[in-house]
Structure formats: structure tokens, C-alpha cells
Structure 1
């Protein structure tokens, strides 16, 4: 299961992330820091400035795409922290959760999609094949429970359980807000990259 559940995210909250994508994000951060240190030590020309700006842009993308996206469920609501926007979905307002290629929350006729834990049909098939190969290593009851399920499926199951526990919660509106840290993390290095490229080309 590539989804991590972190009960300490907030009092009474559970956080669902993609472990593999998060690892890739941190791997890029380490790579970028090492390269930026090298550029700071040896770089003295405009090409080094362009390279540093591109590295910073890569860090912004890694944060927005790999490190930030998550699903947080607490006693009040479930929150989808997507690339550039945050969705606050009160328990009493959500009609149901569905899985498949992503985690979906349905509110009336509206369908809200979580960016984290998305999977393509090809990736899903690969996960199922891998699970079948590992069946022999697990006790039969465990293997049967795991068979054919992805991290997305497990997350949906847990969200459904939490929704059942909070079925009597007050119905309040869904709210969507801009994720300004992610926007700044992308916009600032993108602007810096554009400026350094323009300077380098003149």
C-alpha cells in the first residue's frame, strides 16, 4: 500500500499520501540542494544563474506536485489538498466516496477529485499483478483482503468508514481556496527563470 496514514498530522486527524510520489519529491529536493551548492561554489556566470533558477523551479514543482498533495480527514471534514487549491468537504455534506482511477467525493451533482493517489489503468493492472505475485508470501485471509485493491481503494474504504461515523454531522457548504504557498513556490522561480533566460539571451 503506497498510501501513508499519519494519525499525528493533527489532533484526531488522518492524512493519506502517496509514499512513492513523496519519495520522488524529496529525492529531487536533495538533488537540487547538492547542485545549488555546487553552483554557489563554482558558478560565476549567467549560465549558472539560469541553471540555479531552473533548479529552484524544479523544487517548486516537486513541492506542488509531490510533497503537498494529500487528503486529511478529521472530526469536522475531509480536505483535499490538491495542486493549487484546497477543498474543504464537511462530512454532513458529502454524499459518498468513490474510487477507481482517483479518490472522488460526491456532493449532490458535483464530483470533487483528489489529486493525490491517482492511478492509470495501466498502473492499476501492474499493482494487481504485483499483488498476485506476493499472495504466496501472505496468510490466505490477508492475501484475500489485499487482492485486487490499490492504495486508492484502501483510502476510499477508510473515508467511507469515517463518513459513516460522522453521518449525523451538520451540513455546511463546501469551500475551495487557493493554495498560495504552492502558487508562490511555482510563480517565483518561474519568473526568476524567465528573467535569467532573457538576460542570457541578450
Structure 2
């Protein structure tokens, strides 16, 4: 299932930036080994790239959460979980963001919790309250991840009557190339 244009999307800008930098580094180092390497080095570099690039994409660029009127769509590194709103029992953010649905717990990789941002937002709210100044943010004293969780909770309450069953799809497009690359790297290293 894919997202629709009306869906709200949540992603980690820091995760995306880190992923782009890691992919650029892998392209630079792997490309150098492929072009200038001798002997088995180009083959080892190719196998390593085949293993590492999908994993970098999985953990940095892939995570996303889409919330629409019908369902919550969670795309984590190795799975895509479709949760109709009627199955969502609770959405929370402690040290990580997670949704409880149909008796199972799913992590929301795209909404990372930052304790530093929480403290900063709390200090800003306290300072604003002491000085009697309005805060420029939507919700005073809320970190961006906490605001996203509040938005998702509101949607879960509003569309709680939407039925259906949760669906989980594994990301074979990530798992298979990484496994093949790892296997090729091990075989090339041992022989």
C-alpha cells in the first residue's frame, strides 16, 4: 500500500542527511576501490557495496510514517506496516516512538525521540512563561517528535471507527541484496 497525496508524512531530516552523506562516502570509497583496485579488491568492493548500500538506505532514507483518513502506514528499515485506525490502541513516545495495534508493538523509526529537544522545548516554555511571552512554536514546550506523536494520537481518536486488519510486508528489496552482498563478500574473503 502506498501513501496518498492527502496523507501527512513524518520523516527524520537528520536521518536523511546522514544517509546521503554515508551513501556519498560509500560511493567515493567503493568507487575508488572498483576503479583503482587490483586483484580481488574490485570484486570485494562490489560485494561490500552490494551489502552496505541497501542497509544504509534501510536505516536512514527508508523510514517514514504516513497518516491518512483510513490508516497509519509505517515504513521501517525491514518492514512496511499498514495499520487501519480501528486497530490502533495507543501511540506513545518515551525513549522511542511506538504504536500499539492489535496487541503488537511497532517502532516508528521515522519519528526519533530527542531528549535534548524535549529539554530545550521545556526550558523555552518555562522561560516564556516566566517572562509572559508567547512562544513561536505551535505547541509550547513540545519537541518536534512529541508534536508528531500528538498529531498521530489526534488522528487515531478521530478515525477510530475505521476498520480493517493490520498488514505487514517485509522489505525483500533491502534484505535480499544485502544478504547476497554479504555472502559474496564472505566467499571472496575466504577463497
The two structures have a TM-score, normalised by structure 2, of: 0.81
1:165 aligns with: 158
Structure 2: distance between partners of 1:185 and 1:152? 32
Cα contact 1:63–1:185 (8 A) shared by 2: no
Structure 2: distance between partners of 1:153 and 1:104? 12
CA displacement, residues 93-119 of structure 1 (integer Å, 9 cap, x when unaligned): 212322222222223543332233344
Q: Secondary structure at the match of 1:22?
A: helix
Structure 1: distance between partners of 2:49 and 2:140? 40
In structure 2, list runs of 5 or more residues that go unmatched.
none
Matched, 1:25 2:19: yes
Matched, 1:49 2:48: no
Label 1:54 to 1:133 Cα distance change in 2 as closer, same or farther (>3 A): farther
1:131 to partner: Cα distance: 4.0
Cα contact 1:53–1:192 (8 A) shared by 2: yes
Matched, 1:191 2:187: no
1:53 to partner: Cα distance: 2.5
Cα contact 1:100–1:153 (8 A) shared by 2: no
* Residues paired across the two proteins, number: 184
In structure 1, list runs of 5 or more residues that go unmatched.
1-8
The two structures have a TM-score, normalised by structure 1, of: 0.77
